């Protein structure tokens, strides 16, 4: 998996405060940033592939405009594996029915590949998903740690 390397001249404590999700290796600080996903102007994302899962983080608007790019890019990520996917939508500002449709398609695709799709949500996304009663089909989590715990439990069973 390709990485982007950046050098920052700052303290380790400050770097860990500003970027808690990335690994600080040495001084001057060499920081590994997750691979950026090219989606649309209104939807940005990154991909981190681990041994048995991939973490896809999205920010912005998941609507009819961004849906084709989202479907294509995320669909390819799912096909490439690993098939356990954690989709972090906690920084999504808006999601509409076309975005929800792709989430349903992704959930079905991961199931057919014997994987899982867990979606990290914020209040806006949760409200939209529950409004159309997809919370009975989609697996919603409140944090990445919660999703990882469920994934660990599932792989033990």
Structural domains of the chain, ranges and CATH numbers in brackets: 1-33 (no CATH), 34-156 (3.30.750.24)
Amino acid 104: pLDDT: 95
pTM assigned to the model: 0.73
pLDDT over 50 (residue 24): no
Amino acid 83: pLDDT: 92
Residue 139 in contact with residue 119, Cβ under 8 Å? yes
The tens digit of pLDDT for each residue in 109-155 reads 999 999 999 999 999 999 999 999 999 999 999 999 999 999 888 77
Distances (CA, A) of 75 to 14, 70, 72, 130: 36, 8, 5, 24
Distances (CA, A) of 110 to 78, 84, 114, 138, 147: 7, 7, 6, 12, 15
The tens digit of pLDDT for each residue in 97-108 reads 999 999 999 999
Amino acid 32: pLDDT: 45
């Amino acid at each position: 998996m390709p990485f982007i390397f950046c050098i920052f001249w700052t303290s380790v404590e400050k770097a860990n405060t500003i970027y808690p999700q990335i690994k600080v290796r040495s001084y001057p600080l060499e920081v590994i940033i997750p691979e950026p996903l090219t989606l649309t102007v209104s939807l940005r994302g990154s991909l981190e592939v681990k041994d048995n899962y991939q973490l896809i983080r999205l920010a912005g608007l998941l609507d009819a405009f961004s849906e084709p790019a989202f479907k294509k890019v995320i669909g390819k990520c799912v096909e490439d594996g690993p098939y356990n996917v954690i989709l972090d939508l906690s920084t999504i500002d808006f999601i509409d029915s076309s975005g929800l449709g792709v989430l349903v398609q992704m959930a079905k695709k991961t199931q057919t590949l014997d994987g899982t799709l867990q979606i990290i949500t914020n209040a806006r996304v949760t409200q939209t998903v529950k409004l159309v009663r997809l919370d009975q089909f989609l697996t919603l989590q409140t944090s990445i740690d919660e999703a990882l715990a469920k994934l660990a439990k599932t792989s033990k069973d």
